[in-house]
Amino acid sequence: MRRLPLFLQPLVELTQQFDRLIKGRLWLKVLLALLLGVVLGIALGPDLGWVPSGTVSIITAWLALPGQLFLAIIQMIVVPLVLASVVRGLAANNNPEALKKNGVIAIGFIFLSTALAAALGIILALNIQPGHYINAELLVNTDIAPLTSSASSFPGLADLPDKVSALIPKNPLASMASGEMLQVILFAAVLGAALLSIPAQQSKPLFELLGALQEVSLRIVSWAMLLAPLAVFGLITKLVANLGIEVLGGMLVYVLTVLLGILLLGCLYIVVAKFTWQGPVRQFLAHVRELLLLAFSTSSSAAVMPISLDVAENKLRVQPEIARFLIPLGATINMTGTALYQGIATVFLAQVFGVELSLTSYLFIVTMAVAASIGSPATPGAGIIILSMVLEGVGIPAAGVALILGVDRILDMCRTAVNVLGDIVSCTTVEFVNRSRRVPIARLESQAGED
C-alpha cells in the first residue's frame, strides 16, 4: 500500500479528526450545513453577481431537492403519527379527571404565554420605534394590489357558532388528506375518549394497531433524519441566494427588534424550564438544540413534530400520555413567536405610515394574536396571513405587508424555533404540576400508613 505524500498527511489527519468530531452529533452536522449554506448562498446571490441568475435558479433548485424530500417525507407521516400519538396518549391515561386537568393547564399556559408574547412585542416596538428609521415611499409601491384582499377578516360574534361547529370534522379522512391538523387532533381526541369508555378487552386490538402505526411512523422519521443536514444546506442556500443580503440592510432595525423579542421570549421559556424540569438547564439545552435547529431550518412546527415527541419522551422523560397529547396540540395552537412578531410588525407599520394606535388597538392586537393562534397552519408563511388580518383591524394600509415580506422568511425561521421551544416547555410545565400533586398525596399515604 502506497504511503501518502508528507504534505497531505496533516490534511488527512485533520479530516479524520473532523469525522470523529461530528460522528453521532446531528446538531453539529445541521449547524455546519447551515453555515455552509449561508456562505454558498451569498456566493450565488445577486449581491456578488458571480453567477447568472438563470444558472443560480437551476443550481439552487437541485440543491434544495433533499430539503423538499425531507419535508415531503415528514409531512407524509405526520398525520398518522399525530392520530396514533393523540389516541394512545389519551387512552393510556387511566384517570380521565387528570387528563382533563392536564388539558386545562396546557391550554391556559399556551394562551397566557401567547398574550404575554404579543404584549412584549408591542412594548419593544414602542420603545425601539423601528418604523422611524425607514421611509415607506422608498420601499413600498403603494399602487400594488392590497395583499390582504385574500385574507379573511376576524369573524363577528354572530359568525362564531358556525366557526366553532366547523372545527368538528364531518369527514375525518378528508381532514387528514387536506392536513387540517386541528380537526385531526379533535377527531383523535374523540376516538381516544371513546376507547377509554369501553372495556379494555374490546379496545385492545385498536390500541395495539395504533401502537404499531406509531412505531412505524417513528421509524420512517428516523430514516428522514438522515437527510436533515443535506436538507438544511440546500434550503438555506436557496433562501440566501434568492433573497440577497442587501434586502436585509434597509430593514435592519426592524429585524433586530424582532430577533431581540424572540431572544427574550426564548430566555423566559428557559427560565420556566429551569423550574419545571428535573435537571440542569445546560442539559435541557443540549437535549433541545437539534430540534430547535431543525425547526429554524424548516420553518414548520408540523415538520418537526415527530422529533419534538422524541425529545419530550426519550430525552426529557416527560410521561408519554402528556407528550403525545400536548406536542400535537402545541404545534397547532401554540404560536407565541408568531404573536410576538405580530405585535412588533403592526406597531412598526403603524409608525412607518403614521397611523395612530389607541389602547383599544393594542388590546385588539393581543386578542387577535391569541384568537388567530387556534387552528393557524403550522407551516412556513402562516404568520403573514395572520398579520394581514390584524392590519385590517387597526387601519394600517394593506401595502404594508409588502414592506416586511422580503425579510419575513428569515424571521419566520426564528419564530418557529421559539414556538417549538414553547411546545416542549408546556410539556415540562404540565409534568411539573402533576409531579407536585403526586408528592403531597404520597406524603399523606405514608403518614396514614404510619398511623
Q: Which domains does the chain have, with CATH numbers?
A: 26-442 (1.10.3860.10)
Q: Taking all residues of the chain, what is their mean pLDDT, rounded to a whole number?
A: 77
How open is the CA angle 239-245-251, to the nearest 5 degrees? 105
Task: Count how many residues are written for the chain.
Answer: 451
* Beta carbons within 8 Å of 322's beta carbon, 6+ residues apart: 89, 102, 427, 430, 431, 434
Measured CA to CA, the distance from residue 161 to residue 158 in angstroms comes to 7
Portion of the chain with pLDDT greater than 70, in percent: 73
Q: Per-residue pLDDT averaged across 371-381, rounded?
A: 55
How open is the CA angle 412-406-411, to the nearest 5 degrees? 20
pLDDT of residue 247: 52
pLDDT of 159 strictly over 80: no
Q: Which of 48-62, 66-80, 188-202, 212-226 has maximum average pLDDT?
A: 48-62
Measured CA to CA, the distance from residue 256 to residue 228 in angstroms comes to 28
List, for residues 267-308, the tens digit of each pLDDT value. 999 999 999 998 899 999 999 998 998 888 877 787 788 889
Q: Per-residue pLDDT averaged across 198-226, rounded?
A: 83
Which of 343, 298, 295, 326 lies closest to 127 in space, CA to CA?
343
Task: Please give the grid coordinates belonging to residue 174.
Answer: 378528508
Q: Which of 153-162, 184-193, 237-246 has maximum average pLDDT?
A: 184-193
Task: Please give the grid coordinates belonging to residue 250.
Answer: 434597509
pLDDT of 221 strictly over 80: no
How open is the CA angle 371-374-377, to the nearest 5 degrees? 125
How open is the CA angle 291-76-80, to the nearest 5 degrees? 90
pLDDT of 8 strictly over 60: no
| Helix (H/G/I), strand (E/B), else coil: 354 | coil
pLDDT of 424 strictly over 50: yes
pLDDT class of 9 with cuts at 50, 70, 90: low
pLDDT of 213 strictly over 60: yes
| Helix (H/G/I), strand (E/B), else coil: 39 | helix
Task: Please give the grid coordinates belonging to residue 165.
Answer: 361547529
The model's pTM: 0.70
Q: Per-residue pLDDT averaged across 31-47, rounded?
A: 84
pLDDT of residue 253: 86
List, for residues 314-339, the tens digit of each pLDDT value. 899 898 888 888 888 887 778 898 88
Q: Which residue has the cell 407565541?
A: 336
Q: Per mean pLDDT, which range of 32-46, 70-84, 135-149, 435-449 is the poorest?
A: 135-149
| Helix (H/G/I), strand (E/B), else coil: 70 | helix
pLDDT of 120 strictly over 90: yes
Q: Confirm if 131 and 347 have CB atoms less than 8 A apart.
A: yes
Measured CA to CA, the distance from residue 222 to residue 218 in angstroms comes to 6
pLDDT of 380 strictly over 70: no
Q: Per-residue pLDDT averaged across 389-413, rounded?
A: 70
Task: Please give the grid coordinates belonging to residue 346.
Answer: 403592526
Q: Confirm if 92 and 319 have CB atoms less than 8 A apart.
A: no
Burial degree of 449 (CB within 10 A; 0-12, 13-18, 19+) = exposed
Measured CA to CA, the distance from residue 312 to residue 328 in angstroms comes to 12
DSSP secondary structure, 359-405, as one string: HHHHHHHHHHHHHHTTT---STTHHHHHHHHHHHHHT--TTHHHHHH
| DSSP element (H, E) containing 212 | helix 200-224
Burial degree of 152 (CB within 10 A; 0-12, 13-18, 19+) = exposed
Q: Which residue has the cell 412546527?
A: 301
